Amino acid sequence: KIFSVSMWIYVSLFFVESFTLYIYYYGWDRMKVGQGKWLHWTLGVLLNVWGTTVMLIANGWLTYMMSPPKGVTAEGLPPGVTMWNAIANATWIPINIHRLIANAVFGGSIVAAYSGYRFLAARTPEERAHYDWMGYVGNFIAISTFIVLPFAGYWLGREIYQYNQQMGITMMGGFMSWLWIVQAVLIGVLFLCANYYLWIGMGRIPGAERFVPYTKWMLLLLIVCWIAWSTPHTMIATREELASMGGAHHPFLNVLGVMSAKNTAVNLMILTTFLSFLIYRRANKNSVVPWARTGTMIQAAMFLIAAAVVLFYGVYGYFVEAIVRIGFSVYQVAAVLACILGVTIIDIFIGRGATSRGEIRWGQMPDRSQYALFVLAVTFTWLMGLMGFARSGIRQHWHVWEVMRDTSPQAFTPALGYAANMISLCVLIFLSLVAFIFWLGGLAERAAHGGHVDELRGVPLPHGAPVHGARAPVSGD
C-alpha cells in the first residue's frame, strides 16, 4: 500500500544498471579515444547514479521500519501523508549519508585487497609496481572517507535519540552496549593498519625519511587512544573480582568507559591518521612558495588547537550534566573537521609548483604491507555486518517501530554472541565469493595473454604511477 511504486522503480533500476554496465564494460576499447571518452565517462557517472538511487530507495524502506512518520497505523498512512513522507522520515537522510560514506570505504578496501593479492602473485617488477600503485589508491579512497565516517555515525545516533529516546538507550546503554566495545576494538584495528600501511609506504618515497622519527610517537598516541576507546564502563568480572573492585565499576578505569573519554580518543585518532596522510603527501616534495614555512606553522597550530579543543571538552565533560556533555561532541567534531578542511586547503596552495625529491619507487614494498590491506578489507566488512545488526536490532519485537508488532515466537533480537557468529559466517561466505571472483579474473587474464601474465598493459596513469598495459579491464579489476 505504501511502497509499491518505489518497489517497481527499485526492480527496474537493476535492469537499467546492468544494461549500462554491459555498454560500459564491452565498449571500453571502442570508447577510449575522441568523443567516445565523454560517452564512457557519462556511462560511469550513470552507473553511480543508478546504484546510489537503488540504495536510497532501500534506505527509505528500512528507515521507515525504524522511524515511521507520526500518525502511521498498521493499516497504512494517515490521510495527507504520501509515499515520499514515508521515505523521507526522521532517519533517512542521516543513514543515506552514513551508507554513502561507508560504501566508499568498503569499495576502496576491496580494491586495495585485490591489489594486495595481485601484488603478492606478481611475477615481474612492473606488475608489482602497478598493483602497488593500485593498492595505494584503493587504500587512499578507503581511509580518506573512513576519517569522516564517525561523524556521520554521530549524526545518525543523535537522530535516533531525538526520534525515540528508548530506541537510543537500547542502542547505546542496553544489551547492545558491548557491541560498541567490539566496534571500538575493530575500528582501532582499522586505524592501526591504515597508518601502518602509510608508514611502510614511506620507505619507497625519497625524502620521507625525515618524517620517520615522528611515526613512533603517532603510534604511541594511537595505541593509548585505542585502549581508552575500547575500555568498557562496567567490567565483566567474577564475584571475587567485583568484591575487590568494590562494585562493577573499576575504581580508575571506569572513567574511560564514558563517552567523554571515547569521543576524545576517537577524535585524536582521526587527527593522527590525517597527519599520517599529510606527511605521506609531503614526503617527496620541496615547496617553492616563499611562505611555505609560515604555512606549515599555521597548519601545526591548527592541529594543536583542534587537539586542545578535543581534550578540553573531553575533560570538562566529567564536570557537567549528561545533557550538557552530549552537546560537547558537536564542538569536538567541529574542531576536527575545521582542522582537516583548513589544513588541506593550505597544503594545496603550499604544494603549488613544488619540486620533486625523486620518483616514488612503486613496487618496492615488503610483502607484509599487503596483509594490512587484507586486514582492512575483512575488518570493514565485519563492521558493516555488526553495525547493520545494531541498526536492525534496536527495533526489537517490532516490524515497524511501535506501529506493527512482530507476534511470531521468533520475535526477539538474538544475543550478541550468536549474532556475531552468524555475521562472521556471512562475512566468510562473502569474502570467499570475492576471492572466487579474483580467481576467475586471473583465469580470464591468462587466457587473454595465451597463458602468460607477465606482459605489460599500458593503462594511462597519473604522473609517477607505473604503466601497466592498454586493454579493457578483466573480471576483478
Q: What is the pLDDT of residues 115-128, one digit of tens each?
A: 998 898 888 888 89
CA distance linking residue 238 with residue 244, whole number of Å: 10
**Mean local confidence (pLDDT), 211-224:** 90
- pLDDT above 70 covers a percentage of the chain that reads 90
Does 454 have pLDDT greater than 50?
A: no
Note whether residue 318 is domain-resident: yes
Contacts of 72 (CB under 8 A, 6+ apart): 78, 81, 86, 400, 403
Q: Please give the Cα distance from 333 to 321 (Å, whole number).
A: 20
474 found inside a domain: no
| Cα 304 from Cα 320, distance rounded (Å) | 25
| Burial of residue 406 (number of CB atoms within 10 Å: 0-12, 13-18, 19+) | middle
How far is it, in rounded angstroms, from Cα 162 to Cα 335?
A: 23
Stretch 58-82: mean pLDDT: 80
| Burial of 444 (C-beta count, 10 Å sphere; 0-12/13-18/19+) | middle
Does residue 261 belong to any structural domain of this protein? yes
| Contact call for residues 91 and 63 (beta carbons, < 8 A) | yes
Which of these ranges, 155-159, 353-357, 445-449, has the smallest mean pLDDT?
A: 445-449
Looking at the structure of the chain, the number of domains it has is 1
Question: What average pLDDT does the segment 175-179 reach?
Answer: 80
- Name the residue type at position 63: T
Q: Given this model, what pLDDT does residue 477 score?
A: 47
User: Out of 21-35, 71-85, 197-211, 300-314, which region has the weakest mean confidence (pLDDT)?
Assistant: 71-85
CB contact burial 330-357 (16+ within 10 A = b; e otherwise): eebbebbbebbebbeebbeebeeeeeee
pLDDT of residue 112: 93
Determine, yes or no, domain membership for 36: no
Look up residue 348 and give its three cell numbers: 594545496
Secondary structure of residue 284 in the 3-state scheme: coil
CB atoms < 10 A from the CB of 414, how many? 13
pLDDT at position 15: 95
- Does residue 325 lie within any of the structural domains? yes
d(CA 174, CA 373): 34
Supply the range of the domain harboring residue 241.
212-282+285-356
| Cα distance from N-terminal residue to C-terminal residue, the chain | 42
Per-residue pLDDT, 444: 67
Residue 455 covered by a domain: no
Q: Give the C-alpha distances (Å, rounded to integers) separating 82 from 6, 55, 78, 287, 402.
A: 12, 20, 9, 57, 20
In a domain, 435, yes or no: no
Gyration radius of the chain's alpha carbons: 25
pLDDT of amino acid 76: 66
On whether the CB atoms of residues 67 and 91 are closer than 8 A, the answer is yes
Q: What is the pLDDT, as a whole number, of residue 446? A: 66
The CA–CA distances, whole Å, from 295 to 206, 215, 279, 302, 346 equal 22, 22, 14, 11, 7
**Torsion sign (Cα): 406, 407, 409, 413:** positive
pLDDT attached to residue 74: 67
Q: Are 52 and 96 in contact, with CB atoms under 8 Å apart?
A: no
In a domain, 238, yes or no: yes
Host H or E run for residue 286:
strand 285-286
Task: Output phi, psi for 473, to 5 deg.
Answer: -70, 145
